[in-house]
Chains A and B, each alone.
Chain A
Amino acid sequence: MRCETIKKWLSDDLDGALSPKRKARLDAHNRECRTCRGYRADLTCLQAGAPPVEDRSPECWAAFERRIESKLAFAEPVREASRARLFPGRRWAWAAAGFLVMVAVGIYFAVNRPGGTLGTAWVPYEDSLARLLQEAEVDPEVENLVNRELLASIAAVAPDPEEDYAFPFAADPLFWEGLSEEELEYIAVELERETGNGGPK
């Protein structure tokens, strides 16, 4: 048994808070341990020496009571009336009522939601681009028209990311020198097809 534990038990024993089982073990330890016996003697001395608060004279107490009474004359107890008026012992009922009101308001807005963002996301088939795209598949003129419109609308929203770096490639002579004859010919044909002008020959 460690002496530190025994010292804690000694303290409990002085306060009458030690179980009989532990008390027996404590006594057994103390019979053999001189240090713990000395500690117990010190604690007993401390307990006996704990000074009582000297009682004051009756005049002192009378004066104390007079001061309290005079202060009480100007102090009012805080009433719980305001709280009682709001929640007169039926807090759960108030909480349930509040919850029901919130649910009712939620249902009202869910049912009577004005045609908003969600409604405009769905376009009837007649108004969609599907028919136009079908026509573009068979008519190259319509296809060009649609492509131009689409590219123009995309360019209006976001600038062409290729625009920034297309120029340095074309301006770099090493880029063109590194290409084979077939690759140069292919680029020239594509450029001619798209713009009507040939590329570098």
Chain B
Amino acid sequence: MDERPEDDLVEDARRGSREAFVALVRLHERRVYGLVFRMAGNHSDADDLAQEIFLTAWRSIASFRRGSSFYTWLYRIAVNTSLTFLRKRSREKDRAEFHENMAGIDTRRDASFSPEGSSSRSELRARMDEAIASLPGHFRASFVLVVNQGLSHAEAAGILGCSENTVSWRMHKARKILQARLKPYLGEVRS
């Protein structure tokens, strides 16, 4: 494992050192993977996305400006790549549902599920995965950055390219949506 400070690694990577960049990948892979997993919702897509993000970062490392934070820059690539992926997947899903509906196939999901007998916290977590995955892209990105990655509103705003107020508003809306969708499970966990 390369023990050099991150700034040195970034500088060497900018000069074309693949070894330095691989060391940067090792430093950030878990956090980037955590972010894209929450955005994509499954390991297979998250794996592909994480690789695409690091390749994009490597190709455009020359455009990284010294003095700014490498992880903010990398996260911005990660969020933009994830949002592009979500838009593409949404279009493909719409197309697939259209074809299935045309073929007369019922695509409704798990409508029979009931919270009865599943009041455990693990059930809530499983349902929460689904609820987070159903949030609109920008809300999901804000929620994942702030709640899962532990960033402040200011840091998340820097990555998302918006104001702190926008992040604050999106967090409020995302929580309202999640609370409304998970109300039965939340009640059970609290009781």
Contacts and interface: CB of A to CB of B under 8 A. Distances in A.
A and B co-occur in one complex:
yes
> What does DSSP make chain B's interface, helix, strand, loop or mixed?
helix
A43 interface: yes
Contacts of B26: 65
Interface residues of B, number: 49
A42 interface: yes
B146 to A, nearest CB: 6
Interface stretch (B50-58, B68-76, B90-98, B105-113): B50-58
A144 interface: no
Given A42-B179, A78-B59, A17 B190 contact: no
A-side interface size class: 35 or more
B143 to A, nearest CB: 8
Nearest to B34: A53
A15 B121 contact: no
Interface string A38-59: 0101110111011111011000
B147 to A, nearest CB: 5
B171 interface: yes
A68 B121 CA distance: 36
A201 interface: no
A11 B172 contact: yes
B37 interface: yes
B37 A50 contact: no
B162 interface: no
B129 A51 contact: yes
B184 to A, nearest CB: 11
A72 B179 CA distance: 43
Contact of B175 (A46, A72, A75): A46
B44 interface: no
B175 A50 contact: no
Contact of B189 (A45, A55, A69): A45
B62 A67 contact: no
B51 A71 contact: yes
Given A65-B26, A77-B62, A7 B172 contact: yes
25 contacts: A8-B169, A12-B172, A15-B153, A17-B152, A41-B190, A42-B183, A43-B179, A45-B124, A45-B190, A46-B179, A49-B124, A49-B189, A50-B148, A52-B34, A53-B37, A56-B43, A64-B29, A69-B22, A71-B55, A72-B21, A72-B55, A75-B55, A75-B59, A77-B16, A80-B62
